Amino acid sequence: MTENFKPKITLFHCINAFDEAAELSLTDMDNCEMQTVKMACSSMVKDVFLLKAFEAGADGVVVLVCPESQCRYVEGNIRAKKRVAWVQNLLDEIGLDRRRLALGNMAAGDKAAAAQIINDVLKNLAELGPNPAV
Amino acid sequence: MNMKASGKLQEILSKGEFAVTAECGPPRGANSEIVRKKGELLKGYVDAVNVTDNQTAIVRMSSIAACTHLLQMGLEPVMQMVTRDRNRIALQSDIMGAYSLGITNILCLSGDHQSFGSQPDALNVFDIDSMNLIRTVQTMREQGKDMSGFELKGPPAMFIGAAANPFADPFEYRVIRLAKKIDAGADFIQTQCIYNIDRFKEWIKMAREEGLTEKVHILGGVTPLKSAGMAKFMNNKVAGMDVPESLIKRIAGVPKEEAVKEGLKICQETIAQLREIKGVHGIHIMAIEWEEIVGEIVEEAGLLPRP
Amino acid sequence: MIVGEQKPISEIKEIIAPYKKILILGCGTCVKTCFAGGEDEVAVLASALRLACKKDGKEIEIEEFTVERQCEDEFIREGAPAISRNEGVLSLACGAGVQALARRFVKIPILPGVNTTFIGVLEKQGVFTEECSGCGDCMLAIFGGICPFTRCAKKLLNGPCGGSQNGKCEVNPETDCAWQLIIERLKILGQMDNLRAYVPPKNWQTGLSGGPRKLVREDHII
Ligand code: SF4
Ligand code: SF4
């Protein structure tokens, strides 16, 4: 879309799935601006936080959680998945497009998986353009 | 008081003869010719004709009007009445109106839910249920009073019918419910279409043991199958219908052009068996939009001439 | 409790279209429990509406507030300042809450953001079922604690109908046949005699058919 569109991404992650070190090594994805929000468990992703991230100007939002059945708190990641799906529907309803929001399961420290998920959203954003509600 | 109605159907049943009734669905429109045509097809072959009341919740000419057309042709109607669309005020008023027009038989039903019909957006009434309706008609006849206890001037004296479905669940409760309907005032019962004759026999045996077949006239329902597809549809899609796998296979086993014949053969076999069962006092033929076949079925079964 | 469901965003957008400054007012009792109008839902809806309006280039100011109960004056009062400084109020309470507000704030449009659906129970997390239609003359004693007026699609008093099969209702194969449940329960209770007894027509006067109802407790009026 826009030539010099540098998407802003807000990344919510569970500290069990993703650690500081791995996060830092992601800076090689410098074609985007990244803001990260750490959570003790992915079950803390509330729908309103995801929406607020968009209100604050994010073009895309990514939620990284542990693989299903590997949540330290049993079902936190399943909850997160359902919330994300709910907000995706809301995004469609208000015309922002569900593809701006993604959830990925990743094993602890699996940088490649994290990069893959973020890249997918970046691809979507290249097509969708900047957040139309800012 | 006990002023019972005196139509042909009642006369035949009370004499202990085997009765034959059929069904006629009013048109989706105001053309009385259609009713008369159906009447013509049935005349002479059956003792009375059930006229459905917005069957499957599809808006049609009223049962009361279609009954009147049949009456004018010399046929005896059984007015079906469902509690889905009218409250007790309208129901009672229509019962009196119908009787004043010469309609002497009524079949009391709750009715198919409107969500299946042409107006799923309608408000349903269900002010009273079929059991209450039976009792209402009986009280009018036996005590000459309406539901409020008001003494009617010229109370309607209807011959009262009710439905029974031996194939619905819970099975053991079906006979209790039949007993309740008889207590409420049912004089005759028309059953759901019978395909699973074994289950029917089991049901009527239970009814016999309770002495119910002595108190009420049971007419077994039959509907000729036209194809294996119809048999499957009835079994899977029509609530409370039981078509055994063996029957579906049997009709699927003959060449397509023979299916109708096979269906009629099955129908004849069912009728023959019903006539053998103690407590069955007649048959009710529901040939939906296929009224022309009724005469043939009755003739084949050797049930002609009608009294 | 009263169960309700938030209206679709598209409908809410239309309802609030004439206003530039609105208050979304939640209720912390029933509708909170069914995730339709508690504090959390107010926040989500406000955020979603802000995004939606911004995207459409429409200016709107949305304030958020939740009171403990919208159907009681005492609690509504807490919301009064916020209500008075807005052009309109989108209430996420049940229909009673919306009307309680409308009664008190005559000059401010009070708009419904929730479709109030039924009196029900939380069957399991996230699933609510209708159980009572407030008929005003409870007969659960003879029906084994299962209400046929509410849970039988034909309101049968002497059920079940001929369409009951495998324990499911003919109207919706997802729904249990209320009468099957009644029979099972009465069997367990050893009260099958209740089924043999004829249940006369119901007197609907105590219900909505008798017109809107009012309950007066003299002993609580000073
Ligand atoms: S009988 Fe009336 S009060 Fe009792 S549960 Fe049913 S609708 Fe509610
Ligand atoms: S199937 Fe059961 S719940 Fe459904 S209408 Fe019939 S009796 Fe009522």
DSSP C162: T
What is the tens place of the pLDDT at every residue in C145-181?
999 999 999 999 998 998 888 899 999 999 999 999 9
| Average confidence (pLDDT) over B58-78 | 98
Pairwise CB contact (< 8 Å): B131 & C157: yes
Would you state the pLDDT for residue B2? 42
- C159 C-beta closer than 6 A to ligand 2: yes
**A125 band by pLDDT with thresholds 50, 70 and 90:** very high
C-beta atoms of C196 and B239 within 8 A: no
Chain mean pLDDT for chain C: 96
pLDDT mean across residues, chain B: 95
- Residue A24: which pLDDT band, with cuts at 50, 70 and 90? very low
Q: Mutate which of A48, A97, A101 to test chain C, going by most C C-beta atoms within 10 A?
A: A48
Contacts of A81 (CB under 8 A, 6+ apart): A65, A68, A103
Q: Which of A46, A47, A133 sits opposite C51 (nearest CB)?
A: A133
Whole-number pLDDT of residue A14: 78
B101-124 mean pLDDT:
96
- Strands of C61-67's sheet, edge to edge? C61-67, C21-27, C88-91, C110-112
* B204 has pLDDT over 80: yes
- In terms of pLDDT, which residue wins out, A72 or B124? B124
Convert the pLDDT of each residue in C33-48 to its tens digit.
999 999 999 999 999 9
The pLDDT assigned to B3 comes to 47
The answer on pLDDT for B140 being more than 60 is yes
Whether ligand 2 lies within 6 angstroms of the CB of C178 is answered as yes
| CATH number, domain A8-125 | 3.40.50
Decide if pLDDT at C127 tops 80: yes
Please give the average per-residue pLDDT across B193-199, as a whole number: 96
Interface of C with B in 150-189 (CB under 8 A): 153-167, 170-171, 177, 180, 183
State what percent of residues in chain C have pLDDT above 70: 100
Q: Is residue B306 situated within a structural domain?
A: no
pLDDT greater than 90 at residue A1: no
Token code pair at residue B299: 């003739």
B2 in any annotated domain: no
Segment B196-224 shows an average pLDDT of: 97
Find the chain C residues whose C-beta atoms sit closer than 8 A to any C-beta of A: 8-10, 40, 43-44, 47-52, 54-56
Q: Which atom of ligand 1 is nearest to the CA of C132?
A: 8
Is C153 near ligand 2, meaning CB less than 6 Å away?
yes
Among B193, B165, B160, smallest CA distance to B177 is for B165
Rounded to the nearest 10°, the torsion over CA B57, B63, B66, B68 is 180
Judge whether B305 lies within some domain: no
State how far the Cα of B161 lies from the Cα of B47, in Å rounded to an integer.
14
In a domain, B234, yes or no: yes
Q: Indicate whether A18 pLDDT > 70.
A: no
**Over the stretch B31-41, which tens digit does the pLDDT of each residue have?**
999 999 999 99
Residue C146 Cβ inside 6 Å of ligand 1? The answer reads no
In a domain, residue B256? The reply is: yes
> What CATH architecture applies to the domain C2-118?
3-Layer(aba) Sandwich (3.40)
C39 interaction partners in chain A (CB closer than 8 Å)? none
* Higher-confidence position of C8 and B171: C8
Predicted confidence at residue B5, as pLDDT, reads: 56
- Domain ranges in chain C? 2-118, 135-207
ipTM: 0.92
- Tell me what pLDDT residue B28 has: 97
B239, C159: Cβ pair inside 8 Å? no
pTM > 0.95: no
SS3 C43: helix
Banded model confidence at residue B286, pLDDT cuts 50, 70, 90: very high
**What does DSSP assign to residue B190?**
E
The fraction of chain B above a pLDDT of 90, given in percent, is 93
Query: Residue B130 sits in which domain range?
Result: 8-300
Token pair 């791995």 is found at A22
Candidates C154, C165, C183, C185: which one to mutate for ligand 2, based on the most atoms within 8 Å of Cβ?
C154
